[in-house]
Chains A and B, each alone.
Chain A
Amino acid sequence: MSRFPALRTAAALVALAMVVPLIYLFIRAFQADGSLLWSARMLQMTWDTLRLAVTVTLGSLLIGGGSAWLLERTDVPLRRTLGVAAALPLAVPSYVGALAVVSAFGPQGSAFGIPGLIGFWGAAVVLVLSTYPYVLLITRAALASAELTLESAARTLGSGRWAVLGRAQLPQVRAAVSAASLLSALYVLSDFGAVSILRYGTLTRGIFLQYRSSFDRSAAALIAVVLVGLTLAFIALERLARGPVTPARSANTAADRRVRLGRMTPFAMAALLVPTALGAGVPTIVALGWLNRDGLQGRGTDVLGTAAATSFGLSMAAAVVAVVLCLPVALAAIRRPDWFSRTVETAAQSGYALPGLVVALSLVFMTTRALPFAYQTLGLVVAAYVIRFLPEALASARPSLAAVDPKLTDASRTLGAARWSTARRVTFPLVRGGLVAGGALVFLTAMKELPATLILRPAGVDTLAVRVWTGASEGFYAQAAPAALVLLAVSALALIPAWKVSGSSPKAAVDG
């Protein structure tokens, strides 16, 4: 007797909807000229992509990991403020960062006459500044929850200071460092906006150019398949490197155990502040500078308003759909955790690893082949957002659903409330916060989405991200600046919950 058949069917359907478009991508790729796979161009793009991914990951680990250690294990002053500031570049989409670089330092902007910040190094700098905050947040959390008693235990068992680092500290944060590296690498693999604006030829840029400039869309599909393969390889590599995941324990960092910086303090503070200034400060100042120079023309505000409204509507729709769709997947996984629901859950999260361009191309091939009426509709854009960002909704909804003690719904049933009444009176009030947070996260991420929007938008439809991209790639920086500023403001909103979580102790949450 199978329990929860309806729920499991719904979950499976959601997972299928997330994965099926990919099948059309592969079908299309098989129609391409196979020799392309070994062409010099393909190898060059793959090599360039790998080179960038590795460089950016190492850079992020250095800056993000170093910042995390300074904040968690030294007595650097103003830790809270510096911690919040260090996370600020999260709010800067990579293409906005690229816009700042190209408009300030690029051949056309060259306001300060600094050449050479396009291409590889430009892309690397912009992407390191975009990704190091992820590494910072993840490793900092791991350091905070690493058990200091273990370190003390290692000392009493005869390990010296360095042995403690190797045998007690690193093993505890190894899984976090590994996960953070993967996050950076995947970010680079899927990035399209920054590398395109900075004219660095990665696979995503190759896909886009191929798709746009020729009639042979199968070649674009083939490049996309190579990109998917590269992504899977990175994920597999991370699985190997991760090691056993140690469960997080209570934080117990005592102030007196921190490393005393002494005269090094100013350097530590500078090390924390410089990446923030470059990653968040420079793009904001550059965009403000362009706005100040050219102002907002009358027609400009109209266009900007329309683009903002479109972005808002599409992202809102994606948030609602993603939250609704993630519910059966999360519930099925919680109610009956077996191989079936685990597979379903993994499939539903595939969007996390799939670059936006790949999702968009898959949807193009699927609709032109099977659902022609859906091609070039706003619905398809929403579908791409949902596939891409469903994992974010799931990550937020699942723990809050799992935290609902089944005894509470049992209690409700024995007190006379039927299934739906129980859902309304007990389950929903308890999970509302998690669902809203998940929806908000999807909304804010979707606002920034660029590559899928570029490919899938119906003719004449602009979003804020598209405005920035068009302005930047065509050299009309003044046109891009206001849209970039709106996006920066919206993205900054996404950081508020992250700050709240990191800033409040469990006790405060209870008392408040």
Chain B
Amino acid sequence: MADSPSMADAPSMTEPRGGIRLSGVSKTFDPEPARGEEPRPVVAMDGVDLHAPQGRITAILGPSGCGKTTTLRIISGLEEPDDGHVWIEDDEVVGPDTWVAPEHRRVGFVFQQLALFPHLDVAGNVGFGLKRRERRDRVPEMLALVGLEGYEKRRPYELSGGQAQRVAVARALAPRPRAILLDEPFAALDVSLRNEVRAEVAEVLRESGTTTVLVTHDQDEALSLGDHVIVMIDGRAAQAGTPEEVYRSPDSPEVAGFLGDANLLIGDVRAGMVHTAIGPLKVDKSTPAGRAVALVRPEDLDLEVSTRGDGRVTEVEYFGHDQRITVLLDGSSEFVKARLHARRRFEVGARVRVRAGSGQGPVIYPMGGPAGKPADRLLS
């Protein structure tokens, strides 16, 4: 890990201020070891630098166990980092000599399991963070915002999943927090409900103009909801940018592999071409020559049925709007996936020729550095 690509988004003096900033935040847990086992510390955050811009929705995307929930708990003050700084709207809330208790940070939190107070009704939950005299006006206002007028007296167990979700958001937004944090908030919902609730909540959050940080392992959710996406891998912020930036030009094969299907092909770069198992692909002239990993998204590939092809179809996954075809390349154990229009027909076992489609060209990651570089590791 020591020489993995340097982290984007380190705060500097030139960067826009406001929002939420983390600098060098580290956190290691020491779980109680199981009987007869050595204690094994778990590194949840390993020097995380990140910035969630003011008033925008930032999605932190990462595999489970990458430290994204810990990041939220540290921003809210529910967990204390071993090291590092946290600023909320340029107030330092965590530092070597600074510690602001969670109740004084004014940061709303929507938990994965929602954590509605079972002993309080909807109005009691939404009004929990408000002073007594504020409740009369603000509670109905919040319920109107999330479309739950008339639900004041309902108990949490009397609500549907989507309604409980909206109550949790209303409760977090009611005290006008400086930021709101959502920890996998839609994971507990049925798939059928998820898209609808997700859109509703996004609208409420955008309308309120609150700085939002959302944590998810679902790339569709991150890419569609976030104005800004941060990819977290192994306790580090591996890349940050707009959804298109992180999808189209990932900083490392690892990030690419996590964000959607990725064909990672080893090849040689020579004179503006990368020569791979599927033949030469055009690359930027300035790309240095040598061995490299080429990232090609499945939607940027095309297939052609041909007896003289360079591979054989092993799987056809039909999605209705399109399909994904898996091809085993001749003379290797490499699989290539292509995403094509649903109307074209491919049979399992058919011989096909793989070639570049009309989309974006490959992204190149040079290889051959010291052992253990991400590109090598991923392909070993």
Contact = CB atoms under 8 A, between A and B. Distances in A.
Interface of A: 337-338, 405, 407-408, 410-418, 421, 425-426, 429-430, 510
Contacts of A510: 157
Contact of A413 (B78, B157, B175): B78
B344 interface: no
Contacts of B318: none
B115 A408 contact: yes
A337 B103 CA distance: 27
B129 A407 contact: no
A410 B171 contact: no
A407 B113 CA distance: 8
B294 interface: no
B266 to A, nearest CB: 46
A411 B118 contact: no
Nearest to B183: A407
A357 B281 CA distance: 90
Contacts of A407: 111, 113, 115
A338 B111 contact: no
Interface string B66-91: 00000000001110000000000000
A407 to B, nearest CB: 4
Contacts of A421: 103
B76 A414 contact: yes
B102 A413 contact: yes
Interface centre among A407, A421, A425, A429 (most CB of B within 10 A): A407
A319 B308 CA distance: 88
Nearest to A408: B115
Given A408-B115, A411-B115, A415-B175, 17 more contacts: A405-B113, A410-B76, A410-B115, A411-B117, A413-B102, A414-B103, A414-B108, A414-B172, A415-B108, A415-B171, A417-B128, A417-B129, A418-B101, A421-B103, A425-B128, A426-B119, A429-B119
B179 to A, nearest CB: 11
Nearest to A510: B157
Interface string B95-120: 00000011111111101010101110
A417 B103 CA distance: 6
Interface string B254-265: 000000000000
A408 B103 contact: no
Given A337-B32, A417-B103, A430-B118, A410 B111 contact: yes
Given A338-B32, A418-B101, A426-B117, A412 B128 contact: yes
Nearest to A418: B103
Contacts of B104: 416
Nearest to B118: A430
Contacts of A429: 119
15 contacts: A407-B113, A410-B102, A410-B109, A410-B115, A411-B111, A411-B117, A413-B78, A414-B102, A414-B107, A414-B109, A414-B172, A415-B129, A415-B171, A418-B101, A430-B118
Given A416-B106, A430-B118, A410 B78 contact: yes
Contacts of B157: 510
The 8 closest A-B pairs by CB, nearest first: A415-B129, A407-B115, A413-B102, A414-B109, A411-B115, A429-B119, A418-B103, A416-B103
Contacts of B78: 410, 413-414
B99 to A, nearest CB: 14
A100 to B, nearest CB: 46
A429 B117 CA distance: 10
Nearest to A412: B128
A56 B87 CA distance: 69
A412 B120 CA distance: 12
Given A337-B32, A408-B117, A429-B119, A416 B111 contact: no
A421 B128 CA distance: 11
Interface centre among A411, A426, A430, A510 (most CB of B within 10 A): A411
B180 to A, nearest CB: 10
Interface footprint category on B: 20 to 34
Interface of B: 32, 76-78, 101-109, 111, 113, 115, 117-119, 128-129, 157, 171-172, 175
A418 B129 CA distance: 11
Nearest to B174: A415
A418 B100 CA distance: 12
A16 B223 CA distance: 57
A405 B115 CA distance: 8
Contacts of B111: 407, 410-411
A417 B111 CA distance: 17
Interface centre among B32, B118, B157, B175 (most CB of A within 10 A): B118
A413 to B, nearest CB: 4
A253 to B, nearest CB: 26
B134 to A, nearest CB: 11
Contacts of B117: 408, 411-412, 426
A414 B73 CA distance: 10
A270 to B, nearest CB: 44
Nearest to A407: B115
Nearest to A411: B115
Interface centre among A410, A418, A421 (most CB of B within 10 A): A410
Nearest to B82: A1
Contacts of A418: 101, 103
A268 B178 CA distance: 69
A411 to B, nearest CB: 4
Contacts of B115: 405, 407-408, 410-411
A411 B111 CA distance: 8
Contacts of A405: 113, 115
Interface centre among A338, A413, A425 (most CB of B within 10 A): A413
A502 B108 CA distance: 41
A408 to B, nearest CB: 5
A379 B334 CA distance: 81
Interface centre among A407, A414, A415, A429 (most CB of B within 10 A): A414
Contacts of A411: 109, 111, 115, 117, 171
A429 B109 CA distance: 22
A427 to B, nearest CB: 10
A225 to B, nearest CB: 33
A239 B119 CA distance: 39
A342 B320 CA distance: 57
Contacts of B128: 412, 415, 417, 425
Contacts of B175: 415-416
A319 B162 CA distance: 44
Contacts of B108: 414-415
Contacts of B103: 413-418, 421
Nearest to A337: B32
Nearest to A430: B119
A417 B171 CA distance: 13
Nearest to B79: A410
A430 B175 CA distance: 23
A391 B158 CA distance: 36
A405 B109 CA distance: 15
B215 to A, nearest CB: 15
A408 B114 CA distance: 9
Contacts of A413: 77-78, 101-103
A188 B311 CA distance: 81
Contacts of A430: 118-119
Nearest to B108: A414
A108 B308 CA distance: 113
A400 to B, nearest CB: 12
A418 B104 CA distance: 8
Nearest to A413: B102
Interface centre among A338, A412, A416, A429 (most CB of B within 10 A): A416
A410 B171 CA distance: 13
A464 B52 CA distance: 70
A340 to B, nearest CB: 11
Contacts of A415: 103, 108, 128-129, 171-172, 175
A425 B124 CA distance: 11
B35 to A, nearest CB: 10
A412 to B, nearest CB: 7
A412 B113 CA distance: 14
